[in-house]
Amino acid sequence: MRRKHSLLPSLLRGLLLPVIAAAALLCFAMAVNNLDGGRTEEDRRQLEESLRRGCVACYAAEGVYPPTLSYLEEHYGLQIDEERYTVHYSAFAENLMPDITVLENTP
């Protein structure tokens, strides 16, 4: 007596394996995308923190906060990737910490 081979196990194996592989690749791609998004936010935060530290260093050395963002770049060596970030720098008075906002430009 011969046994009949069922098509169901081979069909499931043929369909299930590619679906599982595609799902694993999708999860991997999503994880890489989340890591990149976290790195981008961390870069923005570090730039903002560097600007604040530069302002404090200027105040400690000169007794006044920097009047402009370009003053910080020229005298304190800060570098800003202007293609990637927009920095809003608003100095109200020489003895008050300037308002600093760093925004990431959208490509």
Q: CA 104, CA 79: separation in Å to the nearest integer?
A: 15
Which pTM value belongs to this model? 0.66
Q: CA 40, CA 95: separation in Å to the nearest integer?
A: 32
Phi first, then psi, for residue 61 (nearest 5°) are -80, -40
Alpha helices, H only, the chain? 7-62, 69-76
pLDDT for the residue numbered 8: 62
Burial (CB count within 10 angstroms: exposed 0-12, middle 13-18, buried 19+), residue 20: exposed
pLDDT averaged over every residue in the chain: 84
Average pLDDT of the residues in 30-36: 71
Percentage of residues in the chain with pLDDT exceeding 70? 83
Tokens of 34: 């989340």
> What single DSSP character describes residue 1?
-
Q: Identify residue 53 by its one-letter amino acid code.
A: R
